[in-house]
Amino acid sequence: MPLVILLFAMFASLFTLSKSALEFSEPFFLIGSRMTFAGLILLVHQGIFNRQAFKIKFSQFLPLVTLGLVSIYITNIAEIWGIQYMSSAKACLIYSLSPFLAALVAFWVLKEKLSSKKWLGLFIGFIGLVPILYAQSSPSELAKDLLIFSWSEMAMIVAVIASVYGWILLKKIINQYRFTPIMANGVSMLIGGVLALFHSYLSGESWTPFPIVENKMMSFIEVTVWMTLISNVICYNLYGYLLKRFSATFMSLAGLVTPLFASLFGWYFLDEVITWHFYASMILFSIGLTIFYHEEIRMTANVNV
């Protein structure tokens, strides 16, 4: 259990580190450099420790490009743009929509059926968005558009949808083409990272010679290395290890502590103010997700009888 708490605390720290890194670098360059670096690390690891699996057929290239485009490029570009205009805790809480959106994607794309209790859980979970989206996290947040959503909130929701769809693509690629997870992730991160670097250049970020604040190169490198190690090395392997000991249902429910850690880190390191809206959304999210997964456990048990 302590390892589970540690895992989600480290996941939460990534949102705080992302906010800190924006003080040293332009956002799109930050994503491009980090993902390119992470992809190279994973591919070097694959080449050294499992060289026989280090191969890509021409017919497999397009699915990997699609994975890199959706799972890495779109997800992270939308996320880093949106997180500039909200607290790290708020961004993390919006990411807690992932289990709900995964269920909807499975319903529409994979034609999986949802019971009435699962629909109730989904409804309560989405209602949980209202308090946190209603509250503005900072005076600099963009003016609201699109009903109750600001453009930054829409960007974060797009990032969550792309992330969920990316996981489905990753699972399909691993199963259909027999790639190792490290190989598939390494290639997709490299592709997505290079696309983000092109995005950085074409969007007008200051390449003179790099979009990094003057005299902040070492700070940028330090934060980028920490984010890569935490996300792509430690959390990736620790999550896989814990899934061997705990069910995916338990891990999803335990993931609800992530926004709490993000709010704590944001308060302590970034002087972010957390209002009651955050905790109201957190409670509604917890209720909705608990109803959803209790129903999933019941349905799974009935199938196995």
Q: Tell me the per-residue pLDDT of 113-153, one tens digit each, with 9 for 90 and over.
A: 778 887 888 788 778 767 766 664 444 444 444 456 678 88
Write the pLDDT tens digit of every residue in 53-71.
888 888 889 999 999 999 9
Q: What is the pLDDT of residue 97?
A: 76
Is the model's pLDDT at 253 over the cut of 70? Answer: no
Scan for tokens 């709900």, then name that residue: 100
Dihedrals φ, ψ of 142, to 5°?
-65, 150
**Residue 305 pLDDT class (50, 70, 90 cuts):** low
Residues 271, 137 contacting (CB under 8 angstroms):
no
Q: What is the pLDDT of residue 303?
A: 57
Nearest to 97 by CA among 36, 148, 164, 150: 164
**Residue 250 pLDDT class (50, 70, 90 cuts):** low
Q: 8 in helix, strand or coil?
A: helix
Q: 287 in helix, strand or coil?
A: helix
Mean pLDDT of 263-292: 82
What's at 128, amino acid-wise? G
Dihedrals φ, ψ of 88, to 5°?
-65, -35
How far apart are the C-alpha atoms of 280 and 130, rounded to whole Å?
9
Handedness of CA 282, 287, 292, 296 (dihedral sign): positive
Terminal alpha carbon distance of the chain: 29
**Residue 304 pLDDT class (50, 70, 90 cuts):** low
pTM for this entry: 0.80
Is the model's pLDDT at 21 over the cut of 70? Answer: yes
Q: What is the pLDDT of residue 251?
A: 67
Q: By percentage, how much of the chain surpasses pLDDT 90?
A: 26
Q: By percentage, how much of the chain surpasses pLDDT 70?
A: 85
Which residues, other chains included, contact 17 with Cβ-Cβ below 8 Å and sequence gap of 6+?
223, 226, 227, 230
